Amino acid sequence: MASFNPIKIFSGSQSNYLAEKVARHYGRDLGGYNLRKFSDGEMSPSFEESIRGCDVYLIQSTFNSSENFMELLLMIDAVKRASAHKITAVIPYFGYARQDRKDKPRVPIAAKLVANLLTAAGAEQIMTLDLHAGAIQGFFDIPVVHLEGTSVFVPYIKSLELDNLVVASPDVGGAARARNFAKFFNADIILCDKYRKRANEVASMQVIGDVKDANVVFIDDLIDTGGTICKAAELVMSKGAKSVRAICTHPVMSGPAHERIRTSMLQELIVTDTIPLREENEKIKVLSVSELFAKAIGRIRDHESISSLFINPA
């Protein structure tokens, strides 16, 4: 039986570009929302229409991670106090997900802290896309709708009709992600084993597997400074690859990333619009996930399976 609670969709101040497309695909306008800022930067959000008894979807990716996340927490608190029936935080890009374990002494598990804060604020469900690690879903004590970027990436790669396709991971930790993607094409996989001296700086890298005369497609969840993926692309081309592309769901693209991509051996970088590009780049292809999120909202409304949105390997 379908829900009788009205659906209302709102966007945080930095995710309007995506939320408007989600709402349009869903078949309605975004709800009225206003964010006021004090002179010292303190934020005060307000909703310009009644949300009492509604199923509310709040769309906000957490980039800039700190400010956008704080705005989302305040939005959740506001709709909870306005007597919303159910609150879903739609976080296309889930910031702090890279800090999902203690990899050295005296560091936080930031992904768990973020999960606790979202729950404490009043979120009753989370919807996100391609988490850095699927295990992060277990950090929540509320339902997590974890969508997959393969829904948009697989059709695009198939449209290129690449022969001798090889799927690659830019690091050993992404082997499972590469293996799952390779199943859609019955393709072989290769790995790049990298060593870092510090964050965002690769000291050395080597290829595990044969790439000679192959069209290589790297698969990863995000691209930050671009150092790893550009170095990996150069390495596989030096080993005899025919071409190299990269798929990265979340285009964080900080620091020198754009210039690195422009001057890299990559033929194409394929990303989604979970984060807006801060500048145009002729090598970057952006695929929208707005329809995917709109369909997921519709499935939840109608109490239908979310897994029906996923693409299954042949």
Active site residue 242: no
Q: Which two tokens stand for residue 190?
A: 């290769």
Helices (H), 193-243: 227-238
Q: Which two tokens stand for residue 218?
A: 């790297």
Burial letters for 154-180: b for 16+ Cβ neighbours within 10 Å, e otherwise?
A: beebeeeebeebbbbbbbeebeebbee
Sign of CA dihedral 259, 260, 264, 267: negative
Pairing of β 201-208 and β 188-198: antiparallel
Of 8, 194, 231, 295, catalytic: 194
Residue 79 backbone class (left: φ over 0; alpha: ψ -120 to 50; beta: rest): alpha
Helix (H, G, I), strand (E, B) or coil at 309: helix
Point out the residues that are catalytic: 194
